[in-house]
Chains A and B, each alone.
Chain A
Amino acid sequence: MTHLADHRSDQLDQNAAGDYAFRVENIFRTYFLKGETVHALRGVSFDVRNGEYIAIMGPSGSGKSTLLNVLGCLDRPTSGRYLLDGDDVSKISDYQLSRIRGRRIGFVFQSYNLLQQLNVMENIKVPLQYQGLIGKDANQKCRELANLVGLGDRIYHRPTELSGGQQQRVAIARSLVNDPYFVLADEATGNLDSKTTEEVLDLFESLNNSGKTIVMITHEDEVAARAKRIIRLRDGKIESDVLNQDRPQ
C-alpha cells in the first residue's frame, strides 16, 4: 500500500476542474443534539477522479454516515467546501440540492429501497421523472439498463416478486438511469448472502470497468477489497487513504 495524499494534491493543482468527479475540502459537520455538540466530521479532505472505484470504511461512529449524507447532497457541511463538477454545493438551497441529487448522483441503498407499488421498469424510471424526462427515449433507456443488470425479462415484475439480489440489481439500474457523476452505494451488499454479494460486486466492477465512478460505503473488508482505493475514517477524520494493491485482477 502506498500513501496517496501528497502526490495526488500535486496532480490536482496541475489538472483543471473536470477531471475529478468531486472534491471535498476540509469538511466539518457538527450536530447540536439536546445541548450537546457532536463533531461528526472534523476536517475531511479528499478528491475522487472520474472512473475511480473507492471504498469508504470505518467503524460505527467514525463519521461514515455523515460523510455519505454530505457526499449524497442530503446534508450540508457546517464548514468546508464540496465541489461537484466544479460547483460548490456546500451552501445551496434544498431545491438545488434536490436537483443535483437527481442529476449527478446515483444512490444504491442497503435495503434496496424500491417502491413497492411500481414494477421494475417504473422503478428504474423514477429519477428521470423528476427531471421531466419521460416518453419513448426514457422507456428505451430503462429497458437497456434492465438488460444490463440481467433483468430484461422481468421488467413488469413487482419488487415483492424478486429476490434480494435481483432487487439490488434493479436499484443499481435505477442509480445509473440519470447518467450520474458517481454512484454512491451505502452498504449495498449488507442484506445479501455471500453468493449474491459476489454477483452484485461483479456488477459494480463491470460498471467501473466501463468508466463509472463508484463510491462504496462499507464496513466489510471483503467488499472494500474489490475497490481500487480505500479511505478509512476514524473519529471524523481520515485515518488512511490508500490504493488497494491487493485487489484481485
Chain B
Amino acid sequence: MIAQFFQTVDLGIKSLLVQKLRAGLAALGIFIGTSTVIWLVAMGEGVSYRAQQQILELGAKNVIVRTVKPNAGGDEDANSRVKTYGLLRADYRRIVENIPNIRRAIPMRELKFELRLDDRTADAKLVGCVEEYLELNRLQIARGRWLSPRDRGKKVIVLANETAKRLFPYENPIGRAIWVGSEFYTVIGQTKDRTASAAIGGSLDSRDYNLDAYIPLKTLRQRVGDLVMKRVGGGQGFNFVGEDVELSQITVEVNHIEEVDETAQIIETLLRKYHETQDYAVVVPRELLRQAERTRTMFNVLLVVIAGISLLVGGIGIMNIMLATVTERTREIGVRRALGATRSDIIGQFLIETVVLTASGGLAGVLFGLSVGPVFRFIKRAIMTISPDSLPPIVDSLEPRIAMWSVLLSLGISLGVGVIFGVYPARKAAYLDPIEALRHE
C-alpha cells in the first residue's frame, strides 16, 4: 500500500518534470498564496504584539482615570476665557477613601511647558508627580536620582533622556539649574530612554516618555498652579485662554487582576456623582488588551479571507493546467487503462499529481514565508539606505512575528486546494473511454 503510494508520488513528480516551466508557473500561484498568508499574518502579529506590549506597559492591574477636555459648546460660560474641568484633588481623596481593595492611587498632573537654559529650549511635558511614578511607569534612572519625599515643594527637576539632550547636549545636567517658566529649578536626575506605551483616554498618540520633565506634584501646584494661560490666535495684541485643571491622571492599582473591571465601575459611579460633564475617562488597560485581541482576531480573519481568495485563484490555475494535462495525456490514460489501471487508479494518479504540484508550491511558499524576518529586515535596510526618512515609524519599528497556525493553515490549504481542484480533472481522465483514449493522437 505505502510502497504503491510512494510509487504514484514518484510517477507524479516524473510526469510534472516533463513540463517543468508549466508545472513551475502553476505552482507559483500556490507559492504566492501560502507565502502571502504567512507574511501578512506575521506582519499583523508583529503590529498587534507591539500594541499588546504597550498596553501591558500601562499595567494589567491598573485602572487609569484621566482628565478629558470636554466637548466645546453647550457650556454655560462659553464666553469665559478660562475653562475649568478635569479631575480634582477631591476626586483623588474620594477614590482613596471610599474604594477598598486598591493597593495605591497615584495622582499626576502634566502640561506642556517650555524649559530653557541660555539660548537652548525644550518643549517638554512637565509632569508633576509623586515618588511612585518612577516605578509605576517602569522608568529607570540614568544618572543622578529620582524625586524623594524630601523634595516635595522644592524646585527640583528630573529630565527625561531626550529633554536632557536638548538642554545639555554636551554636559552633565546633574546639579545644573534650568529655567522652568520664570523660575530656576535644579536638575537632580536623568531617566533612561523608554519605549512608548499605548494611547489611552483622550490622547490619540501613544505616550512618549522621552520628552518629559518630572517635578514634585506639590511643587507644580504651588509654583505653577492649576491655571495655565496660553496665547492663542494671531492678529493684533495678545489673546489668552486658560485651562484650570487640578489633576491630569490618577492611576489606581488594585491588588488582584480580577478586581480591575469591578473597581473601574465603582470609580466611574463615584466620579459621575461629582462631575456634571464627562470631563474624565476611566480606562482599563486590560479592557484595551481585550479590544486589541478582538481587533487582532478580526484582522487575522480578514487576512485569511484574502489569502483564501488568492489560493482559490491559484487553485483554479492548477485545475486549468491539470485539465490541459489530461487532454494532452489522453493516450497515456488509454494505455494505462489497457494495461490494467482501474478508474480509481487513474483518479489516484492525477489527484496525487495535482497534490504534488500544490504541495511543492505550498512548501516553497512556507519556506519563503518563514524567511519573513530576515527578508523584511533586508528590505527595510535597503530602503533606509536609499532614503532614510521615507519609512513611517510604525513600519520602521515593526518586527514580523511568524504565527505557527498560519504556517499549518497555509500548508493545509495548499494540500486541500490540490485535492479539491484535482478531483475534477482526475475524474475526467478516469471516465475517458479507453478505446477513444487509445486512438487519441
Within 8 A of A (CB), among B319-335: 331-332, 334-335
Q: Is the CB of B339 within 8 A of A117?
A: no
Q: How far is the CB of B313 from chain A (nearest CB, A)?
A: 28
Q: Assess whether A32 is interfacial by the CB under 8 Å rule.
A: no
Cα distance, A130 to B344, chains bound together (Å): 11
Contacting residues of chain B (328-362) with chain A, CB-CB under 8 angstroms: 331-332, 334-345
Given that A109-B438, A126-B336, A132-B4 are contacting pairs, would A117 and B342 also be in contact in the complex, using a CB cutoff of 8 Å? Answer: no
Chain B interface: which size bin?
A: 20 to 34
**Do B340 and A116 touch (CB < 8 A)?**
no
The B interface, classified by DSSP as helix, strand, loop or mixed, is helix
Q: Which of A93-101, A195-203, A221-229 lies on the face that meets chain B?
A: A93-101
| B397 at interface, CB cutoff 8 A | no
Residues from chain A with Cβ under 8 Å of B341 in the complex: 98, 102, 130
Known: A69-B435, A74-B435, A134-B7. Is A103-B15 also a contact (CB below 8 A)? no
Q: Is the CB of B337 within 8 A of A98?
A: yes
* Contact B4 A107, beta carbon cutoff 8 Å: no
| Complex-state Cα separation, A117 to B329, whole angstroms | 11
* Candidate in A98, A101, A132 with the most chain B CB atoms within 10 angstroms: A98
B17 CB within 8 Å of chain A: yes
With contacts A69-B435, A127-B340 known, is A113 near B7, CB below 8 A?
no
Q: Is the CB of A130 within 8 A of B340?
A: yes
Residues of the B chain whose Cβ atoms lie less than 8 Å from the Cβ of A129: 4, 7
* Residue in contact with A101 in the complex, picked from B15, B18, B338, CB distance below 8 Å: B338
State the CA gap A134–B341 with chains docked (Å). Answer: 15
B11 contact set on A, CB distance < 8 A: 117-118
CB within 8 A of A74: which of B14, B15, B345, B434? B434
- A144 interfacial contact with B, CB 8 Å: no
Q: Is residue A166 contacting chain B, with contact meaning CB distance below 8 A? A: no
Is B3 engaged at the interface, CB distance under 8 Å to the other chain? Answer: yes
Q: Which residues from B are CB-within-8-Å of A174? A: 339
Contact A134 B340 (CB under 8 A): no
What B residues does A58 contact at CB under 8 A? none
Check if B339 sits within 8 Å of A107, measured CB to CB: yes
A113 close to B331 (CB less than 8 A) = yes
Closest to B13 in A: A117
Asked whether, in the complex, the Cβ of A117 is within 8 Å of the Cβ of B14, the reply is yes
> Judging by beta carbons under 8 Å apart, are A130 and B338 in contact?
no
Residues of the A chain whose Cβ atoms lie less than 8 Å from the Cβ of B345: 98, 130
A75 CA / B338 CA spacing, docked (Å): 11
Not counting A98-B343, A130-B341, a sample of 16 additional A-B residue pairs whose C-beta atoms are within 8 angstroms of each other reads A72-B338, A74-B337, A74-B434, A94-B342, A94-B343, A95-B343, A98-B340, A98-B341, A101-B339, A102-B341, A107-B338, A109-B438, A113-B334, A115-B336, A117-B15, A127-B339
10 contacts between A and B (CB under 8 A): A94-B342, A99-B342, A113-B335, A115-B336, A117-B17, A117-B18, A126-B339, A130-B345, A135-B3, A178-B340
